[in-house]
Amino acid sequence: MKSSSLTVLVIDENRIRASIIEEGLREGGYDQVRIIDDMHGLARRIAEINPDVIVIDLENPNRDMLESFFQISRAIQRPIAMFVDKSDEASIEAAVDAGVSAYIVDGLKQERVRPILKMAISRFNAFSRLSRELDETRGELENRKIIDRAKGLLMRSRGLSEEAAYALLRKAAMNQNRKIVEIAQSLVTAASLLDPGASE
């Protein structure tokens, strides 16, 4: 995605600093920049703008303010670059846990905005890819368990070998134009209805 096609939301109560960030972004090729300088109804306004990436600049954030931003970060699933003037170890850890892609202590300089934003987007994409791969792996593992249960049921009820049980599942899947895991799930569900102890 090109810089110019991204909508960047800048959140900063200080309008002067927000305009510095905006200028840095526009110089870096980000044309679609929106600014929020009033924190009331923040989550709703973020949802309305639906930005591709968010830059948050906080002069001296207190614990409550940081926590509310971290909750928003968890909910919106977008790359977030957060600039703070001062921080402590607990806040940095909380930012990482909340999914903040770049947490920059020691304020903001205009020329740093673009490279930090690029890094935030890159980190967010890498993290999203890892999360997706983890979900896929978990799904495959769950599917394998279901297929193994179905094979076990067939082996016990029909006296089949493991290979023959799998071949039967595969044949049924091909005949019904369905996935093997769907056939296996149907079998496990049916067995649990007929004999609640059978699908264990």
Domain ranges of the chain: 3-108, 134-194
Packed helices 113-158 and 15-27: angle between N→C axes, nearest 10 degrees = 80
| DSSP structure class, residue 196 | T
User: Exposed, middle or buried by CB within 10 Å (0-12, 13-18, 19+), for 66?
Assistant: buried
Angle at the Cα of 21 from the Cα atoms of 18 and 24, rounded to 5 degrees: 150
134-194 domain in CATH 1.10.10.10? Answer: yes
SS3 string, 121-156, reads HHHHHHHHHHHHHHHHHHHHHHHHHHHHHHHHHHHH
Is the alpha carbon torsion for 30, 9, 80, 11 positive or negative? positive
- Measured distance CA(23)–CA(19) in Å, rounded: 6
Please tell me the CATH superfamily of domain 3-108, with its number: Response regulator (3.40.50.2300)
Under the banding of pLDDT at 50, 70 and 90, the label for residue 31 is: confident
Q: Please provide the average confidence, as pLDDT, over all residues in the chain.
A: 82
- 118 pLDDT band, cuts 50/70/90, is confident
Share of the chain above pLDDT 90, in %: 26
Q: Return the sign of the alpha-carbon dihedral for residues 131, 132, 138, 141.
A: negative
- CA distances 187 to 12, 64, 163, 183, Å, are 57, 51, 17, 6
Which residues face 54 on adjacent strands? Answer: 9, 80
pLDDT higher at 128 or 200: 128
CA atoms within 13 A on the CB side of 109: 4
Residue in this structure with the two tokens 């007929």, named with its chain if needed: 194
Summarize the confidence of residues 42-50 as an average pLDDT. 86
Q: 4 pLDDT band (50/70/90 cuts)?
A: low
Instruction: Answer with the residue of higher pLDDT: 88 or 168.
Output: 168
Whole-angstrom Cα distance, residue 25 to residue 52? Answer: 14
Match 């930012």 to its residue by tokens.
95
